[in-house]
Amino acid sequence: IKPRLAGGASLNPDGGNSGLEGIGYDAKRKVFYVVKEKNGRRLFEVQIDDKPGAATLLKEPTKALNAKVDDLGGLHFDNASRDFFVISHESHCIVQLGATGPCRDILKFEGRQVEGITLSPDGVDLVVVGEARQLIHYRRTPTESPGDTSDTEQE
């Protein structure tokens, strides 16, 4: 694997330490999604190609996130449900958003400084990790649909 720059698009023109935090991939559309942590929380859609300025700001999901959380951290895009799962470690929650922006669910968690998130391919297991060696595992009950995290069991 050889590294290469993504067309020269700047996703954090202000610089500083409130930059990019999480990344997810949409296999169907072949685009990446990136979240900006604070001070202008944003969800970007990025197509990796050779054209400069290939980043697009997704406005609808950003509006839904801004109303629910103080910061953005880890990000997972679920290719099956087409939903985003976004961590806010300051708000102590995971927000599930539809691809066009509506908030589908909010899952509160006990961990501190949670940063990473992923969902198993079958949509049953949701795992988050954080600083201080945390790993939190949630499992859906059999009665839940793949996009529903409201009654997850925490381990």
3 state SS of 11: coil
CA separation, residue 62 to residues 7, 35, 101, 102, 141 (Å):
23, 9, 7, 10, 29
Radius of gyration, alpha carbons of the chain: 15
Better-scored residue on pLDDT, 80 or 40? 80
* pLDDT at residue 126 in the model: 94
| Residue 146 scores a pLDDT above 80 | no
Name the residue with higher pLDDT: 14 or 33.
33
Cβ atoms of residues 9 and 53 within 8 Å: yes
Mean model confidence pLDDT for the chain: 77
DSSP 8-state symbol, 152: P
3-state secondary structure of 79: coil
CATH architecture of residue range(s) 20-116: 6 Propeller (2.120)
pLDDT of 139 over the 90 cut: yes
Residue 124 confidence class, pLDDT cut points 50, 70, 90: very high
Query: Is pTM, for the whole model, over 0.85?
Result: no
String of b and e for 68-89 (b: at least 16 CB within 10 Å)?
Answer: ebebbbbbbbbeebebbbbbbb
What does the pLDDT look like over 41-100, one tens digit per residue? 778 888 776 566 556 666 666 777 766 787 888 899 999 999 999 998 888 889 998 887
The pLDDT score that the predictor gives to residue 151 is 47
